[in-house]
Amino acid sequence: MSEKKRADLYKVGEEFEPLEFRVTPEWNAQFIEALEAYYPRYEKETERGSPIVVPGLLIGQSNVTRSPSFRLDPGMGAVHAKEEVEYLNPARVGKKLRVTWKVIDYYEKRGRPFQVKEALIVDEDGVKILRRTITDTYMGGPYKGGKEQ
């Protein structure tokens, strides 16, 4: 097995390994219960198709830490700095979803690396579901985060 590259070392144009998952009715129901989001659109089939996936589940599954290739050294942490989310279409329970992450910008600010990634969720029919622009910085490891004396 080859060693995975550390997440902070991904540069502009590089992609993390995609994640595929299928939201079952039971999984969706767990989010409905946890969020107390008791709305028919999340629970019942309509003329448009199966119930809609609770949006919070999509946010959780599109964090870059869900990528099978995400890795940091012990003692390092990824710090979420900024985000924009755009819901493009509803995801349907039972459909296979695929999340991809691509680094679209990388810059340094105050001696710390900032990495901007676009996360995109697409369903098995090619319908774009959600787009996120996620900015992370890193602490620990080579980025100690202490104030300079």
Q: Where are the domains of the chain?
A: 7-23+53-139
Q: Is the pLDDT of residue 149 over 50?
A: no
pLDDT digits (tens, 9 = 90+) for 38-86: 888 999 998 888 999 999 999 999 999 999 999 999 989 999 999 999 9
Whole-model pTM: value is 0.89
Q: Architecture of domain 7-23+53-139 in CATH?
A: Roll (3.10)
Q: What is the pLDDT of residues 93-128, one digit of tens each?
A: 999 999 999 999 999 998 888 999 999 999 999 999
Average pLDDT over residues 14-20: 98
Kindly provide the residue ranges of all beta strands, DSSP E only, lying in the chain, ordered along the sequence: 15-22, 77-87, 96-109, 112-123, 128-139
- Token match 């900015």: residue? 135
Is residue 134's pLDDT more than 90?
A: yes
